[in-house]
């Protein structure tokens, strides 16, 4: 038996389909949205649609942006000779929160995982190798997660880059094995960055 009318049930169902949102949270969000002024709901729905329509990969680092290049890649204040490789946009955001890293990034959008059928061609490695053809790049910091997939990806990247003569380093311990970068505090991330080692 349904407790709510069609529109309310549909809203709850759509919200519950989002990752990390259970049925109780979906109900709370639905009733909050229903109680909002109509103009705020319209702004929210417009933001959702416009973001989905206009956000794409940065042509340089593959992070999500609504411009040709993201603000980090287009900034002349960033050190474009150092590229930090991360798995996701959330990992990039985690390092940016430290406020100490001044280089640029490359977002892979995944990690190599033979068990899940994800190979090197399924992540943004081709784009990375194209970037490394520039004489500007002096160091690549591999900041993939300390999981089996992250370590596999790090070793694969190291083998790809070493023949180019570019220095390849890996973030140091401090990031727990099996931990996701997005869930780690800024101090730990900073220690891992400062204690990176050459691969």
pLDDT beyond 90 at 85: yes
Distances in Å between the Cα of 168 and the Cα atoms of 33, 106, 146 are 48, 14, 17
Q: What letters, b where the CB count within 10 A reaches 16 and e where it falls short, cover 108-143?
A: bbbbbbeeeeeeeeebbbebbeebbeeeebebbbbb
- Residue-level pLDDT at 177: 62
pLDDT in tens, 29-53: 999 999 999 999 999 999 999 999 9
Tell whether the model's pLDDT for residue 195 goes beyond 90: no
**Does 114 or 192 have the greater pLDDT score?**
114
Q: Is the pLDDT of residue 102 over 50?
A: yes
Domains present along the chain, CATH in parentheses? 6-44 (1.10.8.420), 77-198 (3.40.1360.10)
pTM of the model: 0.77
């Amino acid at each position: 038996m349904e407790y709510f009318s069609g529109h309310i049930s549909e809203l709850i169902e759509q919200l519950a389909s989002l990752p990390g949102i259970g049925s109780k949270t979906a109900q709370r969000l639905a009733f909050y949205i229903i109680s909002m002024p109509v103009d705020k709901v319209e702004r929210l729905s417009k933001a959702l649609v416009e973001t989905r329509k206009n956000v794409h990969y940065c042509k340089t680092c593959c992070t999500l942006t609504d411009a040709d290049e993201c603000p980090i890649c287009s900034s002349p204040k960033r050190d474009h000779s150092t590229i930090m490789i991360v798995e996701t946009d959330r990992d990039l955001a985690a390092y940016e929160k430290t406020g100490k890293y001044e280089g640029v990034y490359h977002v892979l959008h995944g990690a190599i995982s033979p068990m899940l059928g994800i190979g090197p061609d399924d992540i943004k490695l081709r784009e990375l190798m194209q970037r490394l053809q520039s004489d500007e790049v002096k160091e690549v910091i591999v900041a993939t997660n300390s999981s089996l997939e992250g370590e596999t990806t790090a070793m694969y990247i190291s083998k790809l880059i070493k023949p180019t003569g570019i220095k390849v380093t890996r973030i140091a311990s401090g990031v727990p094995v099996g931990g996701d970068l997005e869930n780690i505090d800024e101090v730990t991330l900073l220690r891992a960055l400062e204690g990176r080692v050459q691969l």
